[in-house]
Structure 1
Amino acid sequence: MNVNKPEQTNRDPIVYDSVDTDDLESFSCASQGRQPYVDLPRIEKAVREILLAIGEDPEREGLLETPLRVARMYDELFAGLHVDVRDVIKVFHEKDHDEMIMVGDIPFYSMCEHHLLPFIGRAHVVYIPQGGRILGLSKIARIVDVMSRKPQLQERLTSQIADTMVEAVRPMGVAVIVEAEHLCMTMRGIRKPGSLTVTSALRGLCKSDARSRSEAMSLLNRRRG
């Protein structure tokens, strides 16, 4: 493929639908047998103070273990702050492969940094390999997982996925679309359940070359549709 003017090809891009993330390692410290990433006692104390501040009794039966449960939950939900994404990436070499690859419908859960409420959605990733460098399919899902497990903005998450792909495999182009429902819009404020926020990030040929951009966006939109 000519970098400045990509060749037309009769071969279809490789498309992988609905990534199964069951094989991904859990970020739970209990399941991994690791030490907690976060300061559990400090979070427990803070949650207890919040319960008191809203007028609840942290000593009643239903709330006795809530501070510890929340602390353990935060250890899992914010594990991405403490994991180096490079440690979950594995690059393979497939000689002369330079056709588009798409992995779609990657589910994720993240926490909006403004209200610490979840936003839940799916990510779709397209890239054009260069030099035969191919990323293991589950590794793309791992990138999404690591980047989403921290206080986030959807716009930043989308860019971080794209930039990590660029750093990992140095492709000719990358396109990422993320669509999510934000519970800060569903549970509070404007209260519009079902509203989806869609963000995109384009890198390399997927941004600079009209033909590559059109092909990538066609794949992404077809998958989303």
Structure 2
Amino acid sequence: MARFDSEKIEQAVKMIIEAIGEDPNREGLIDTPKRVARMYEEVFQGLNQNPKDYFATIFGEEHEELVLVKNIPFYSMCEHHLVPFFGEAHVAYIPKDGKVTGLSKLARAVESVARRPQLQERITSTVANSIVETLSPHGVMVVVEAEHMCMTMRGIKKPGAITVTSAVRGCFENDPASRAEVLNLMIKK
């Protein structure tokens, strides 16, 4: 992966400020290029992370029932407009052969995938596929609910509109009753 280039981002932000007709040397804007570069380094840190790495630690546990972590908050940046979208992810899996991971690892995987220029659909499927490929569970379901600033502050201008995506693997894909049960648990507050 290419190294993060703060200097190039600072130059680009200064050019954007000039291009919109502002003075980059104005008191309120003079340090904006540096601030944006620092922010981008933080919000895009997931580019150098592999969500599968969080599942390297596996515990042997005689548990082959549902594991669900819901309401995991996340922030990401739409790759089409480079404006934020944010919401909650719900991650469920049914362990197989006693292979479980730490609960925080599910949240960390969501975080690492979200912290890059991204699409909501890709967050959803990447988290699900990472769990399938590392834990080989009976089933996985990931549901992501998010508000996209590209729909709120520009374009159609519909604040409050929530986009819901899901990725369903294994037994949840093939068993409508199991799928309905986990979806019901995900949406209960």
**Does residue 127 in structure 1 map to residue 93 in structure 2?**
yes
Does 1:88 find its partner at 2:54? yes
Task: Quote the Cα distance in structure 1 between the aligned partners of 2:137 and 2:152.
Answer: 37
Q: Residue type matched to 2:187 in 1?
A: N
For 1:51 and 1:42, locate their aligned partners in 2 and report how far apart those are by CA, in whole Å.
Answer: 14
Note if contact 1:91-1:168 (Cα within 8 Å) is conserved in structure 2: no
SS at match of 1:141: helix
Letter in 2 for 1:131: D
Q: Give the stretch that moved more between structures: 212-221 or 198-207.
A: 212-221
Contact persistence 2:52–2:131 (CA under 8 A): no
Q: 2:137 aligns with which of 171, 181, 189?
A: 171
TM-score scaled to structure 1, two decimals?
A: 0.80
Aligned position for 2:147? 181
> Which has the higher mean CA deviation after the structures are superposed, 75-84 or 116-125?
75-84
* CA displacement 1:170-212 (0-9 Å, x = unmatched): 1100011100000111111111111111111100001012232
Give the deviation of 1:214 after TM superposition.
2.2
Q: How far apart in 2 are the matches of 1:155 and 1:210?
A: 22
Runs of 4+ in 1 over 4 A off after TM superposition: none
Number of aligned positions between the proteins:
187
2:111 corresponds in structure 1 to 145
Residue 54 of structure 1, aligned match among 6, 20, 35: 20
| Contact kept in structure 2, 1:175 and 1:200, CA below 8 Å | yes
* DSSP-derived class of the 1:123 partner: strand
- Whether 1:220 aligns to 2:163 is no
Q: Does 1:77 align with 2:43?
A: yes
What is the root-mean-square deviation in Å for CA atoms of aligned residues?
1.4
Contact 1:92/1:135 (CA < 8 Å) preserved in 2? yes
Alignment gaps of 5+ in structure 2: none
Contact 1:123 1:178 (8 Å CA) reproduced? yes
Q: Deviations over 1:13-36 (max 9, x none)?
A: xxxxxxxxxxxxxxxxxxxxxxxx
Q: What's the secondary structure of 2:9's corresponding residue?
A: helix
**Percent of aligned positions that are identical:** 56
Amino acid at match of 2:58: V
CA distance in 1, matches of 2:146, 2:79: 15
SS of 1:168's equivalent in the other structure is helix
Task: State how far apart, in whole Å, the 2-side matches of 1:100 and 1:128 are.
Answer: 5
Is 2:173 the counterpart of 1:207?
A: yes
The aligned amino acid for 2:28 is G
Partners of 1:73 and 1:143 in 2: how far apart?
20
Aligned to 2:34: 68
CA drift at 1:106: 0.1
